[in-house]
Structure 1
Amino acid sequence: MASFEHTVNPDQATFLGFGLEGVAYGIHVILFGIAVSLLVNKGRKGPSIGPIFGVSALLFCLSTVHFAINFNNVYTSTMVHPRPHIAAETHLLVGADAMFILSDFFSQLVLIYRCYLVWNRNIWVVILPVLVAFAAASCGFAVIGLVLSIAPTAPQAPADIVPFGDASFAMSLILNFISSSLIVGRVWWLARGNEVPGVPGLSRSRHILRQATGVIVESGLLFLATQFVFVILFAIAHPAQALVEPLAVQIYVRPSLHTSACFPSF
């Protein structure tokens, strides 16, 4: 395994990750409150709102639990019962790892469901993405189980089981890219169909479709970039993965309710 002793060590990455997650969680709470206000107080309605709102609320709860676990770990390890390494795995931190896997899984389900709606509820379009989402989550939980069996206090996955994690996170990364591409491609096609030759400007429906595409692309790119960085860091067993993982949990939650609040039909 490569040595990264001159960059950042697991304890530093864990502490920095906790701090950045705190900032991201604070922003997330504000955005979540704004989105709920738009959906509830202003009467936003649409066929996709019920399921997506429910899963988005669940994702918010998962991100809250994840941040609470990390806060408890840092506070307890430095203030209450100081220990040499705050990055060392504990049973409580295993729970945070589980929150990470579940957040990724449910955020992918929201993306797949939106793809299903955009493609006129065509079940054949989303069968493979659903299977990949379950496979990715299964590999992720297998990694957690193997870590507990082989090295229960290791701050990161041992080299022998890194390939299982690579498979899980790579599948999630590919799934995100494919689902986002299917959504954007379909929305672009619908927008193209709304263009009227010889008429200046854009129709209202086409303008809305273009706005929706922009929001989806912006959220999807952030999601995709975070996953890509984490996959690379995990594959090379870099300690900085402990810095990216907490941020990823908060970023996974953001696109789901944000798009629904702005564009209920998506």
Structure 2
Amino acid sequence: MRDIGLAEAQLLAIFVESIAFGMFVVLYGISLWVLRKKTRTQERKNRLLIIVITIMMILAIAHLAIDLARLLDGFITNGVTADATVAFYANLSHPTEYSKTAIYVTQTLIGDAFVIYRTWVVWNRTWWVTVIPTLLLVGNAITGYGCSYQMSKTVPGASVFISSLSTYITAFFCMTFATNVICTLMIAGRLMMRQKTIGSHTKHSLWPVVSMVVESGAIYSAALIAFLIAYLVNSNGQYPALDIIQPLIGVTFSLILVRVGLGLSSGVSDPTAPTRHGEGSQFPMGPLSINVSRLVEQDSDRDEFSKPSGSDSYDLKAV
């Protein structure tokens, strides 16, 4: 089957990236609204979420801006002929090329670091559950920025599929894929364990939260698999598959915030809606609140689940 041309792949890449970026902008705005409408105490706890998602937005804007600048350079300024356009995009050592790669790597590291943090919190701040994901994160940083450096040293016209780059690229995406699969399964598994604990005491469940965590992880993982397949078969289709991931990281990050905050999943209600003591089910972010009926449970670490004296309300930190 005929592979897509390099110039066509770049046009398609900026098209799909723009669509995903538009989705991120909408979800970013809703996420800020959801996080800002909490109580004063919750706002303080949500400050980290606001900072992280804002940094992700800035990086997504920077990446798209570079792609737009490259589009103008490739098709207008340096695109006198079709061959000239291809030659421009084939120059991996151009500053805009390895700069956008570094931006992408940074975005990935932030997303992976926060999913590791979520895992750590959900598992009662147990350090051993984060050992493997953290090692993978370090490996990601080394291979990701190493790839950007290697790109800056390539000669004009060098292929992105050359061995000096493919080793870094393949390792980077395999490790970020493994990080997200491991953390998603660990978060979902922990919540299912909690569901077994509270399931017989309340009609409400944690399954909506489990579903949202798994769905968000699946979206990102599917995008990574699509890229890896395209790259490993040496297809230029890897360019659009890659560029859509940059804003998609922010989309998957904010998707849980929006769905929980607006109560868009079955069994999840508006975090600001009042509920009677011992009844109802709420899952607001930072912390997620789970109201249960007459269940007394003591945990060694009260940072994840805490039960004040005389209360039937448990708090679960943001997942």
TM surpasses 0.5: yes
Q: Please, what TM-score do these two structures have when normalized by structure 1?
A: 0.88
User: 1:223 matched to which residue of 2?
Assistant: 220
**2:252 aligned partner, one-letter code:** P
Distance of 2:104 and 2:195 partners within structure 1: 36
1:115 aligns to what? 119
| Structure whose residues are more often helix by fraction | 1
Superposition CA RMSD, Å: 2.1
Q: Which residue of 1 aligns with 2:312?
A: none
Percent identical among aligned pairs is 20
Instruction: Give 1:13's match in structure 2, choosing from 9, 13, 25.
Output: 9
Q: Which residue of 2 aligns with 1:65?
A: 62
**Runs of 4+ that moved beyond 6 A:** none
Structure 2 vs 1, CA of residues 260 and 152 (structure 1 numbering), >3 Å: closer, same or farther?
farther
Q: 1:138-168: CA deviations, max 9, x gaps?
A: 1121122222223355352413431222111
- TM-score w.r.t. structure 2 length? 0.74
| Superposed CA offset, 1:107-156 (max 9, x none) | 10111111111101111111221121111121121122222223355352
Matches within 5 A, 1:63-212: 63-82=60-79, 83-85=84-86, 86-88=88-90, 89=92, 90-154=94-158, 156-196=160-200, 202-203=203-204, 206=205, 209-212=206-209
Structure number with larger C-alpha Rg: 2
Residues 48 and 225 (structure 1), Cα distance of their counterparts in 2 relative to 1, 3 Å cut: farther
Structure 1 residues 48 and 157: alpha-carbon distance in aligned structure 2, compared to 1, 3 A threshold:
farther
CA contact (8 A) 2:99 2:148 kept: no
Query: Structure 2: which 5+ runs fail to align?
Result: 261-283, 288-318
- Given the alignment of the two structures, is residue 22 of structure 1 paired with residue 22 of structure 2, yes or no? no
Output the CA distance in 1 between the equivalents of 2:184 and 2:246: 19
Quote the Cα distance in structure 2 between the aligned partners of 1:210 and 1:47.
27
Contact 2:28 2:53 in 1 (8 A): no
More contact order relative to length (CA 8 Å, sep ≥ 6): 1
For the structure 1 residues 256 and 46, does the alpha-carbon distance in structure 2 shift closer, same or farther, using more than 3 Å as the test?
farther
Change (3 A) 1:76 1:84: closer
Q: Which runs of 5+ in 1 are unaligned?
A: none
- State the shift of 1:7 in Å: 2.1
Q: Distance in 2 between matches of 1:179 and 1:113?
A: 9
Tell me how far 1:18 sits from its aligned partner. Answer: 0.4
Distance in 1 of aligned mates of 2:29 and 2:7 = 33
SS at match of 1:239: coil
1:191, CA displacement in angstroms? 1.3
